């Protein structure tokens, strides 16, 4: 039996991530998977990336915010997001990232896969065929059937929608651990999941854990960043 910690959409919220790590002791896991979006919307991108950069037994991919940060650092125009209150968060992050953490982001793929015995597992920020797709649990069943039909994987681990769920469709397991750092459902607690895999059984548990939101709010205020993000972290809601 392999025990895997599933994380995603940390969004530079290191206080939330640290609360999870303190509570579950990562050395207990055979593997730690991060579905991307290390960066943007909080002020601890370096601390977040450094934790993964220095740790073994991790599988990480880029999220859409990470890819946009790399685009800015290449000197390319940022087409999205359009709202200035969002754009300022991207440019702040691109200015603060340390070179070694930029190098680490550049080394990561948009998606990846691996095997545990006979079980093939795909890791995506969005979905198998669209890195920017927000796949919600209440999406049309046809969409899940299509992904299952076209997939070489028995397990899909996904992020981006910030909604924790676990569905089995046509024998394919679809898992989203929710967002560590920026939940939208009115519950500001950090979200993560634990996956257990053996040749006979696949099981998933989702968890929510409180963290010191005031540390995130303080970081935003100290850097003179838009107050709307403080409100979002306090309430666990998407307000823009």
Tell me the per-residue pLDDT of 61-98, one tens digit each, with 9 for 90 and over: 999 999 999 999 999 988 888 899 999 999 999 999 99
pLDDT of 115 reads 95
Tell me which residue has tokens 């079980």: 119
Cα dihedral across residues 164, 158, 61, 115: positive or negative = positive
pLDDT at 150: 86
Angle CA(15)–CA(20)–CA(21) in degrees, nearest 5?
Answer: 95
| The residue to which tokens 């540390």 are assigned | 215
Over residues 35-57, the mean pLDDT reads: 96
> 3-class DSSP state for residue 192?
strand
- For position 171, what pLDDT does the model report? 96
Full set of structural domains in the chain with CATH: 2-235 (3.60.21.10)
Q: Is the pLDDT of residue 193 over 90?
A: yes
User: Rounded to two decimals, what is the model's pTM?
Assistant: 0.96
pLDDT the model gives residue 78 = 85
What does the pLDDT average to over 34-50?
98
Q: 185 - beta bridge partners?
A: 237
- Nearest one of 44, 46, 63 to 98, comparing CA atoms: 46
Rounded to 10 deg, the angle between the 64-73 and 84-96 helix axes is 70
Q: Give how far Cα 2 sits from Cα of 28, 32, 199, Å.
A: 10, 11, 10
Measure the N-to-C terminal CA separation of the chain; round to a whole number of Å.
Answer: 42
Question: What's the rounded Cα separation, in Å, for the pair 60 and 76?
Answer: 24
């Amino acid at each position: 039996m392999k025990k895997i910690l599933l994380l995603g959409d940390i969004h530079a919220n290191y206080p939330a991530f640290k609360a999870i790590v303190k509570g579950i002791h990562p050395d207990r896991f055979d593997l730690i998977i991060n579905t991307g979006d290390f960066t943007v919307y909080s002020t601890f991108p370096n601390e977040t990336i450094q934790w993964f950069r220095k740790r073994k037994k991790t599988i990480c991919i880029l999220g859409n915010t990470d890819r946009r940060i790399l685009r800015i650092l290449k000197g390319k125009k940022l087409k999205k997001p359009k709202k200035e209150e969002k754009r300022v968060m991207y440019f702040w992050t691109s200015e603060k990232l340390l070179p070694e953490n930029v190098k680490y982001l550049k080394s990561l793929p948009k998606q990846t896969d691996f095997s545990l015995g006979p079980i093939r597992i795909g890791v995506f920020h969005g979905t198998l065929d669209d890195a920017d797709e927000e796949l919600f649990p209440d999406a049309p069943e046809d969409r899940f059937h299509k992904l299952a039909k076209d997939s070489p994987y028995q397990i899909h681990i996904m992020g981006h929608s910030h909604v924790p769920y676990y569905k089995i469709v046509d024998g394919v397991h679809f898992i989203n651990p929710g967002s560590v750092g920026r939940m939208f459902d009115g519950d500001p607690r950090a979200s993560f999941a634990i996956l257990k895999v053996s040749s006979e059984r696949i099981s998933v548990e989702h968890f929510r854990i409180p963290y010191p939101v005031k540390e995130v709010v303080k970081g935003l205020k100290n850097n003179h960043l838009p107050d709307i993000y403080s409100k979002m972290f306090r309430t666990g809601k998407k307000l823009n």
